Amino acid sequence: MKKFKNRKLSKSALQQVKGGVCSSGCTDFYARERDAGEGDFCEFAFSGCPGTIQNGLCCA
């Protein structure tokens, strides 16, 4: 059996693996400004895609 080394993928490669650069949807795993609230800007933790905060989730 052949062994493969684990490689860290670049951000763009990971985005392609996940099916598109920025897909629509919501996540609870995101970055935001310290005092950001409903309707403010947020960024998806994995893809770095921009979104807005809706019902406590980051939605694109």
Q: Decide if pLDDT at 17 tops 90.
A: no
Q: Is residue 42 part of a domain?
A: yes
Tell me the range of 12-16, 20-24, 52-56 where mean pLDDT is highest.
52-56
Residue 6 located in a structural domain: no
Q: What are phi and psi of 17, to 5 degrees?
A: -65, -35
The rounded distance, in Å, linking the Cα atoms of 9 and 24 is 22
Within-domain flag for 8: no
In a domain, 44, yes or no: yes
Q: Does any domain span residue 7?
A: no
| Confidence grade of residue 19 (pLDDT, cut at 50, 70, 90) | very low
The more confident residue out of 48 and 55 is: 55
Radius of gyration of the CA atoms of the chain, in A: 15
Question: Which residues form the domain of 37?
Answer: 23-59
Rounded Cα distance between 5 and 13, Å, is 17
Q: How many domains does the chain have?
A: 1
The larger pLDDT score, comparing residue 9 to residue 56, is at: 56
